[in-house]
Structure 1
């Protein structure tokens, strides 16, 4: 019998592959390739993110060693991580309750996605994704922040915050050489909104 974690990783694998397929044109732009990898692997990749998510909840205790970053700067990032984890957990439970095979396809995925009936929450998730991309891009302009993240790995490890620190550092590295993020953020938002409305059979407004 397959475990909850196995179904969860199967879900994340499908989502990551779907994102890579739907946004392959963005990843093909050299400037956006590192951002795409971060988005596909570190946000939605097929792995157990429980340690990263636990670290994110304790992030405020780490920020005092990262100059130029305050809790209000990353509140939406923390909310996005939390909402995404909850939504994925819910879909995983629905797949198991449906008796779906571990090799479920995109049709079954969209069926449970629609049956979850949380359009407004999905809309909020999309808004958070767009806002987080824009805000983290703004933060990545700070060389002081980059120096602090690059030099604080040992402190983070000793403090039991290594997974959260690695997530922040990879995000910074993915965005530091990007000259503008608007096209990436707007494309993600607009295409995912079209997909969301298609799944819920809502008309575009």
Structure 2
């Protein structure tokens, strides 16, 4: 019998592949390609993000070293990571308890997705994805911030937040060739909202 951790990994692999399929058109835009990879790998990739997410709760100790950044600028990023983790954990738990197998297909995934009855949380997740993309895009316009992120990795590791620092630096780097985030952010939001409403039949 598969373990809960194996279901979590299977769920992450499924979601990452689904996003790659549904947003292939965005990833094929040269300016969006690095951002797409960041979105598919660092947000929904098949890896254990627990260390990074735990470190995020201690980020306030480090914010003072990043010029022009306030903790509230990153609060929605941290909320998004936390909410995504909670939703994935709940869904994996349901699949594991039902013993459906880790090779589930999309109709099975959507069945448990709807069974979880988390519409409001899922809608909040989509809102956070959109606002986070806009917020981080705004921060990525600062060359001084980029320099600070590149120079502070060793200190971040000493402070015990190396994983979340790497996450922020990769997000910053992924946005450097993007001149406008509107099309990327709004396309993801609208497609995912349409999908959410379809699954919940709204």
Displacement over 2 Å in runs of 4+: none
Secondary structure of the structure 1 residue equivalent to 2:117: coil
* Aligned CA-pair RMSD: 0.7
Q: Counterparts of 1:25-174 in structure 2 under 5 Å?
A: 25-174=25-174
Q: CA deviation at 1:106?
A: 1.2
Q: CA deviation at 1:110?
A: 0.5
Corresponding residue for 2:24?
24
Q: CA deviation at 1:85?
A: 0.3
* C-alpha separation in 1, matches of 2:160 and 2:121: 32
Secondary structure of the structure 2 residue equivalent to 1:104: coil
Cα deviation code 1:127-161 (max 9, x no counterpart):
00000000000000001100000101110111111
* C-alpha separation in 2, matches of 1:163 and 1:40: 17
What are structure 2's unaligned runs of at least 5 residues?
A: none
What are structure 1's unaligned runs of at least 5 residues?
A: none
Cα deviation code 1:23-78 (max 9, x no counterpart):
00000000000110000000000010011111111111111111111111111111
Corresponding residue for 2:181?
181
* C-alpha separation in 1, matches of 2:143 and 2:15: 33
* C-alpha separation in 1, matches of 2:109 and 2:89: 13
* C-alpha separation in 2, matches of 1:57 and 1:107: 35
Corresponding residue for 1:8?
8
**Mapped contact 2:67–2:145 kept (Cα < 8 A):** yes
Secondary structure of the structure 1 residue equivalent to 2:127: helix
* C-alpha separation in 2, matches of 1:90 and 1:154: 35
Secondary structure of the structure 2 residue equivalent to 1:47: coil
TM-score with structure 1 length normalisation?
0.97
More displaced 10-residue stretch of structure 1: 56-65 or 14-23: 56-65
More displaced 10-residue stretch of structure 1: 54-63 or 17-26: 54-63
TM-score with structure 2 length normalisation?
0.98
